[in-house]
Structures are given as structure tokens and as C-alpha cells.
Amino acid sequence: MKILRDTGATLDLICNKYVKPHMYTNEKVWLRTPLEESLICLPLVEVEQDCEMGHVITKAAVLRDSLDQGRYLLGNKTAALLDDYKTKEDVQMHMINAVQTRAQRKLLEMENEIQSQSIEQFD
């Protein structure tokens, strides 16, 4: 399957006809795709990509067969992981969770703020 880099997408997208039942993670995500006008709820699958950019295991939202364009849409988070993989030789292959809730983002921001404050105290 061809891979198309979508710089406007956070999440990877894959068509249902390329997905096997064991790939589903029992997670869902609400999003607006380039092919839909309204928000839709899509299931997530664990996808292993092996291409000239590198090898990664990530999560992708599953589109229905009628939206098939014959391409895997590569989102920003997976592309960033592949870029890191190319620049660092010691990067381990791992799965990323491309979906971040508001609570997770808030927790990460609080951790970063605490870390920056502790660094300022040592200066």
C-alpha cells in the first residue's frame, strides 16, 4: 500500500479493507477526516509500517471502504517518530499512542512546568 504524508493530520488513517480483526485495539476516536465534513467516530487499530522511511508500530483510525484511496495517510506524530528514527541510531522500535486526551495534555503541561521550575531553582 502506498503511504501519503498528510501534514495536516495528527492521526494516521487506514482503510478498513487493509485491516485484520486482530489489529483492533478496542479504542475509538472522534475526528474530522479530509474526506468527511462532520465529526465521525472511528475505531483504532495497531499498524506496523515498514517502508523506506523506517519501521514503526503505531495506531491508526480506520476509515470505511467507500473512502478508500489506496493509500495509508501518515500523520504528524508517526512522521516525527520516523524522523527521530532516521537521525538516531539507538532508537528502539516502539508503539506510540497518537491520541492524547485533554487530561493527558494537561498532566504533561503540569509536569513540564514543574520540571522547568526545578531547573530554575538550581540556576
Grade residue 2 by pLDDT with cuts at 50, 70 and 90. Answer: confident
The string of pLDDT tens digits covering residues 8-18 is 677 888 888 88
Q: Could you give the angle at the alpha carbon of 16 between the alpha carbons of 100 and 58, nearest 5°? A: 35
Q: Which of 69, 10, 71, 70 lies closest to 44, judged by CA?
A: 10
Grade residue 94 by pLDDT with cuts at 50, 70 and 90. Answer: low
Cα–Cα dist 15/60, whole Å: 10
Cα–Cα dist 53/79, whole Å: 9
What dihedral do alpha carbons 92, 97, 38, 65 form, nearest 10°? 60
